[in-house]
Amino acid sequence: MSEYGFWSLLPPLAAIGLALRTKQVFLSLTLGIWIGWVIINGGNILSGSFDTLNAFVAVFEDAGNTRTVIFTLFIGALIALIQRSGGVAGFISLVKTKLESQEANNKNRNNRRLVQLFASLTGIVIFVESNISILTVGTLYRPIFDNLKISREKLAYLADSSSAPSCIIFPFNAWGAYIMGLLVMQGFDKPFATMMSALPYNFYPFLALGIVAYIIYTGKDFGPMKKAEQRAVEEGKLIADGAIPMISDEVSMLEAKPGIAHRSINMILPIVTMIIMMPMMLVYTGWSSLDTTDGSFIDLAFQAMGQGSGSTSVLTSVATALVVAIGLYKVQGLLGIKEMVDLSLKGMSGMVSLAILMVFAFALGSLCKELKTGLYVAEISKAWLSPNLVPAIVFLVSCFIAFSTGTSWGTFAIMISIAVPMAQSMGTDPHLAIAAAIGGGVFGDHCSPISDTTIISSMASASDHVDHVNTQLPYALTAGGVTLLMYLALGFLM
C-alpha cells in the first residue's frame, strides 16, 4: 500500500477541484503536481518546488512520452496541410451534398441529425487512435456544426464519446496492443483471444455509443446539454456567455488555398494511410520478440501486435501519412515544398498548447505513480470484496482511479494486475473482471476534466473545457450507472 496513504489522493483531487472551479487547466495541473511533490518531500515547499520543475523535464526521459508529444505536433502539421490542400473543404462539400439530398419534411431537423450522425461515424471509423479520431471530428465538422447552429459542447461530446469507446470495441490499435501486453503479464498465453472474450462484458463503451445514437436520433438532450442546444438554436450562441474556448478559430482552422479544386481524396488518403499503417507497425515493432518457428502467420501477427510499441506505431503512422500527403499535394501541383514546410510549422504551432498540456498530464501521471495513488485506492477496496461483488467493485474502483488520475491506460495497468488474480482466487470469471477494469478505466477517464482525451475534445471543437465536462457528464453517468447495475446482476448470476 502507498506509504502516503490518504495524502496520495490530494494532488489529483486538488487538480480536479481547481479545474472545475477556475476553468484554468494549466494552473490546476501545476498546483496538483506541486502539492504532490511537496507531500513527497515531507512538506518542504522549497524542495517540492524544485522537484516539480524536474518532474516536467523528466517527462521527456520516457521515449514513449516524447513520441506522443511529437506525434501531437505532427498531427497539427497534417491537419494544416489537409485543410490548405482543399481536402477538408472537399470532404465538407461531400457532407453538404449528402445533406441537401436529404431535404424533405423537416429540413433543419434532418440536417442536424444527419451531420451529427456523420460526425459520430467518422469518430468510430477512425478507431486507430483516440486522439486522431477526436482531432479529425473536431476539426472537420466544426464549420458544419456552426452553420447549423449546433453547440460546440455537442461537437465536443460527439468527438469524445465516439473515440475511446470505438478504440476499445475495435482493438486493432495501440489500445488493444497495450491491453494484450498486460494480459500476457498475467499469464494468459492467448491474450488476443482473452481480450476478445472479455469484450462482450465490457458494457460501458457499447452503452456510451448507444446513448450517442439515441440522442442523435431522437434529439432529446437532457441536463446542461439541453440548455446548450437551446441557446445555440434560439440565440445563435455556439458557446455560452463568458465561456473561453480552449483554442481559437484562427489557430485551429485554415482556409483552402485560393484557386485550387477541393477534393475529398486529399483528406481521405492520408487518414486511410494512418489507419492501415497502425496495425502494420504494431506487428513490425513486435515481430522481433516472437519465436517465428511456432504458429501460423495470423497467430504470430496477433501476438506481435501484443508485443508492439504503441507510441512508435502511432508516431510512424502519422509521419507516413505526412509523407503521403506531401507527395500527393506536390504531384497535383497544389502546394510547393517551401509552402508545405511553412504550413507544417504553422500547424505544429497550433498544437503547442495541447502538447504542453500533455506534458502536464504525463507529469501528473508520474506523480500519482510515485505516490501510488491508484494502488492505495485498489488496496483499501479489497476489504469490501466478495465473489458476487467483484465485477461491480472493480468497475467502481477503476472509475475512481481513472477519474482521479485522468488516465485510462494507467488504470488498466493497476486494475488488471489486481482484478485478474483476485477474480481467479475468488472464483469469479476473470473475463468479467478484465472487462470491468477496462470499462471502468474508460468511464472514469471519460468523466475526468484532467484526462488528455477530454482536454483534446475541448480543444479540437473550440469549446470551453469545463462546459464540455459538465454537458457530457450526465450522458457518461447514465451509461456508467447502467453498467454498474449490469455488473451487479452478473456478479450474482454467473
Say what the pLDDT of residue 248 is: 44
Shared-domain flag, residues 86 and 56: no
Percent of the chain past pLDDT 90, that is, above it, reads 27
Shared-domain flag, residues 53 and 108: no
Say what the pLDDT of residue 34 is: 93
Shared-domain flag, residues 310 and 363: yes
Round to whole Å and give the CA distance between 299 and 290: 11
- In the predicted model, what is the mean pLDDT of the chain? 83
Note the pLDDT tens digit of each residue in 36-63: 999 999 889 999 999 999 999 988 887 7
CB 373 within 8 A of CB 397: no
Strands (DSSP E) contained in 27-152 are none
Say what the pLDDT of residue 249 is: 45
Indicate the residue among 14, 44, 60 that finishes a domain.
60
Say what the pLDDT of residue 120 is: 93
At residue 209, does pLDDT exceed 90? yes
pLDDT grade for 317, boundaries at 50, 70 and 90: confident
At residue 27, does pLDDT exceed 80? yes
What backbone torsions phi and psi does residue 462 show, to the nearest 5 degrees?
A: 55, 45
pLDDT grade for 2, boundaries at 50, 70 and 90: low
DSSP 257: P
3-class DSSP assignment, residue 230? helix
Say what the pLDDT of residue 100 is: 65
More confident of the two residues 345 and 188 = 345
Q: How many independent structural domains does the chain possess?
A: 2
Shared-domain flag, residues 456 and 310: yes
Residue matched to cell numbers 486529399: 266
Say what the pLDDT of residue 109 is: 55
Shared-domain flag, residues 55 and 70: no
- For residue 483, give the nearest of 377, 391, 410, 384 by alpha carbon: 391
Shared-domain flag, residues 27 and 91: no
CB 198 within 8 A of CB 188: no
Sign of CA pseudo-dihedral 115, 120, 121, 125: positive
Shared-domain flag, residues 66 and 177: yes
Read off the pLDDT of each residue in 125-141 and give the average, rounded to a whole number.
78
CB 142 within 8 A of CB 253: yes
CB 309 within 8 A of CB 65: no
Shared-domain flag, residues 175 and 55: no
Owning domain of residue 30: 5-60
At residue 384, does pLDDT exceed 70? no
Shared-domain flag, residues 43 and 79: no
What residues contact residue 155 under an 8 Å CB cut-off, 6+ apart?
119, 137, 138, 141, 142, 145, 461, 463
Of 120-134, 300-314, 432-446, the poorest mean pLDDT is in 300-314
Q: What is the pTM of this model?
A: 0.70
Indicate the residue among 19, 43, 60 that finishes a domain.
60
pLDDT grade for 362, boundaries at 50, 70 and 90: confident
Say what the pLDDT of residue 250 is: 39
Indicate the residue among 60, 88, 106 that finishes a domain.
60
Most confident of 97-106, 265-274, 352-361: 265-274
Shared-domain flag, residues 56 and 146: no
Read off the pLDDT of each residue in 406-417 and give the average, rounded to a whole number.
78
Residue matched to cell numbers 520543475: 53
More confident of the two residues 265 and 111 = 265
Shared-domain flag, residues 67 and 41: no
pLDDT grade for 341, boundaries at 50, 70 and 90: very high
Shared-domain flag, residues 155 and 207: yes
